[in-house]
A and B are shown apart, each in its own frame.
Chain A
């Protein structure tokens, strides 16, 4: 497959990609895979209703290529990641600070896609030198062990005391090398691993992974299975959005709101547990469809949904009318619309800053094409409050979709329904699958070789959006940190890989 890219020059690559971005394509990500002749780069672009890619091969003896980042700022983190995992140099990249895997020089590189057995790498955990100079400027490291029950990440806050003029993020602490682990698995095991790339968005990751496999196998999943996927994906969205609000209320010291919202989130998790056995919807999505239908009866399911919906609606309404809460979010962590557009910001972060990107609408998958969707209108303020309001709207939208889904499922004959179509066992080829996780668009670049996974690159929305995180700070002070972090609502597992 890669033969067709052999003649393309690395010089033209950045031009071709940035030309398409100039013409309105959204830059979704830059992936790499080790191949016999070198490292293949795959730039993924969203154009209208399709995902397109631009490819180029960076020969091993060259070891470098002209960077995309000077033309497309959103490529910065992708090029840093590729630099660390593959050891190839993006020439012209302004800042190749360590990100996911800081290695001592001479350490072997994992080079995903090469299919080689792993060699242990040697990490260089030394602290980053400060970027800012000036009287009284100092660096506060937050993490990797956080001051609460959070995932591990390190933020370096360079500050003269109160403002945050400069922030850097290092995610390597919990880099697990998960993408290499896919290699050699079959798709049935692969989906289990996909669920563990970003555990809080298991369903979305499983859908995106299976979407790629189903494209290759030209499988249409049964309508019932498509509905069940929507049901679980929307419950996952509600749980994640509640989690973001819970973290806001915790930071704002809203004890009752914290208790109420965490009660609602627990009810959502328990409902998910009752529907499929797993509080995270794991094991539901399989290549070709879903493993089982929901086990609750329809009346019971509607009653459970009504109970949660009413409680959530009531409490969120009061929360948004609580000045001591709203004041902490208003004007905090602003991401301007132009920046969000240039960067292709995803999910609630993008939609809070005027961006529309939503895989459920752009490229409807599962049963989203069948269901009347309540589209969430983007907001323009770009602050933490806008992101909270977007999440509130998405929660209502999710309940609406869930009710339609149950309604449609109840009209089908659940006992005779086929829940999964068979998948061809010796598939070869590559495809990109997608899903709209609560955090935003998830992409899976999947290469299959005679039924075995040769390369899988998950790209979570968390990874893409965290590259924008530092831009939210210049007007804010240290006490805003927790709100900005919660309003991004990202999962570090999905970033670190």
Chain B
């Protein structure tokens, strides 16, 4: 019985996200943001060279960063601080692989809106309560900690009607981590196949998006997109719990309406997000 008062001791520790903005505050490495500015030679070349996952490219004199490859090591922020800096923003997932490359191109944005509309239509039935099946397809183990953290009292995803399930037959969302280890591909595919429609696939972490630092090898693939129809790509190495929560809400069309580009300034933080339907997605689904 002594546990009962213990549970009440600290009051409410649970985040209000996504209704209220939340995060870790300044200094936290949620993502790397890129300036919309010409790349100064030769320092941009040194940043491109130093990037361990070849995530940086220069197109028409402008720098672009592929967050699907970025492991947030921070070398570019040191070599070229006027172009790259860390930002606490974790709302970096996207429905299209190309949209993880920032600053985004206009053509990508149109495709992203199309992808979002399609996904929104597909997941209409999932807007209240969803069950998630997690599968590790060759992660480094840290991703599982961050996924598991979603059930701790701080994130407490049950408050949003989000549950983890053991059976793929109950699952609406497949949350997959890891590079795509050869020995897991069959199991991953079988898990996906037995899930009922409609279903959504989230590739969580740069390993799952692009293979990350490990990349393709004799027993690893460059991410999961070749094995499964991925609906949402989540950057991060590993992705943070907030980043994962954002991705899940994005996947099931449950983001608050007002959420838009953090833009207006010269730093490309993220692709603009908005709900795919006119329903009020801020309503928290009850269990």
Chain A positions near chain B (C-beta within 8 angstroms):
101, 108, 110, 118-121, 123, 125, 144-145, 147-152, 172-178, 180-181, 189, 192-193, 196-200, 202, 243, 254, 256-257, 259-260, 262-263, 265-266, 269-270, 273-274, 277-280, 282-283, 291, 295, 315, 318, 322, 491-494, 496
Contact = CB atoms under 8 A, between A and B. Distances in A.
A277 B86 contact: yes
B222 to A, nearest CB: 12
Nearest to B164: A149
Given A189-B52, A278-B29, A200 B3 contact: no
Query: Considering the complex of A and B, which 3 residue pairs feature the smallest CB-CB distances, nearest first?
Result: A199-B142, A199-B140, A262-B152
B70 to A, nearest CB: 12
B28 A152 contact: no
Given A173-B184, A176-B217, 6 more contacts: A151-B141, A178-B214, A189-B213, A199-B141, A202-B142, A263-B13
A173 B140 CA distance: 13
Interface string B207-241: 00000111101111000000000000000011010
Given A181-B214, A257-B3, A277-B74, A175 B141 contact: no
A256 B153 CA distance: 10
For chain B, which range describes its interface: under 10, 10 to 19, 20 to 34, or 35 or more residues?
35 or more
Contacts of B2: 318
A152 B137 contact: yes
Interface stretch (B61-69, B105-113, B175-183): B175-183
B141 A181 contact: no
B182 A263 contact: no
B183 A177 contact: no
Given A273-B28, A283-B74, A318 B6 contact: yes
Nearest to B25: A274
A202 B73 CA distance: 13
Interface string B59-85: 000000000000111100000000000
Interface stretch (B116-124, B143-151, B265-273, B274-282): B143-151
Contact of A266 (B139, B142, B152, B212): B152
A150 B148 CA distance: 8
B6 A256 contact: yes
B193 interface: no
Contacts of A120: 218
A174 to B, nearest CB: 5
B77 to A, nearest CB: 10
A196 B136 contact: no
Contact of A192 (B73, B136, B179): B73
A195 B138 CA distance: 15
B284 to A, nearest CB: 19
Nearest to A122: B182
Q: Indicate the member of A180, A181, A278, A283 with the most B CB atoms within 10 Å.
A: A278
Nearest to A180: B217
Given A151-B139, A256-B6, A277 B29 contact: yes
Contact of B151 (A121, A144, A262): A262
Contacts of B191: 145
A186 B108 CA distance: 35
Which of B27, B218, B238 gathers most chain A CB within 10 Å?
A: B218
B258 interface: no
Nearest to B142: A199
Interface string B147-184: 11101111000000000101010000000001101111
Chain B CB within 10 Å, residue with most, of A110, A121, A200, A277: A277
A177 B147 contact: no
Nearest to A198: B141
B126 interface: no
A244 B219 CA distance: 29
Interface of B: 2-4, 6-7, 10, 13, 24, 27-29, 52, 71-74, 86, 134-149, 151-154, 164, 166, 168, 178-179, 181-184, 186-187, 191, 212-215, 217-220, 237-238, 240
A493 B141 contact: yes
Contact of A200 (B7, B145, B152, B181): B145
Contacts of B143: 199
Nearest to A319: B3
A192 B139 contact: no
Contacts of B145: 199-200, 243, 269
B183 A173 contact: yes
Nearest to B183: A173
20 contacts: A120-B218, A147-B166, A148-B166, A149-B148, A152-B138, A152-B187, A173-B183, A174-B178, A176-B178, A176-B220, A177-B218, A177-B220, A178-B214, A189-B213, A199-B139, A256-B6, A262-B152, A265-B149, A266-B153, A295-B27
A277 B144 contact: no
Contacts of B86: 277
A123 B183 contact: yes
A278 B142 CA distance: 11
Contacts of B213: 181, 189, 192-193, 196
Given A123-B182, A177-B218, A494-B141, A150 B164 contact: no
A335 to B, nearest CB: 23
Given A192-B52, A256-B3, A262-B149, A176 B179 contact: yes
Contacts of A123: 182-183, 219
A257 B4 CA distance: 10
A391 B146 CA distance: 22
Nearest to A175: B219
Contact of A256 (B4, B146, B182, B219): B4
Contacts of A144: 183-184, 187
A263 B152 contact: yes
Nearest to B135: A145
B135 A152 contact: yes
B183 A175 contact: yes
B219 A125 contact: no
A120 B143 CA distance: 26
Nearest to B13: A263
A256 B142 contact: no
Contacts of A280: 142, 238
B5 to A, nearest CB: 10
B3 A318 contact: yes
A150 B178 CA distance: 12
A198 to B, nearest CB: 6
Nearest to A121: B218
B164 A266 contact: no
A260 B7 contact: yes
B27 A274 contact: yes
A322 B1 CA distance: 9
A278 B28 CA distance: 7
A199 B238 CA distance: 9
Nearest to A112: B218
Given A144-B187, A196-B140, A260-B6, A266 B217 contact: no
B103 to A, nearest CB: 22
Contacts of B148: 149
A270 B141 contact: no
Contacts of B178: 174, 176
A209 B4 CA distance: 45
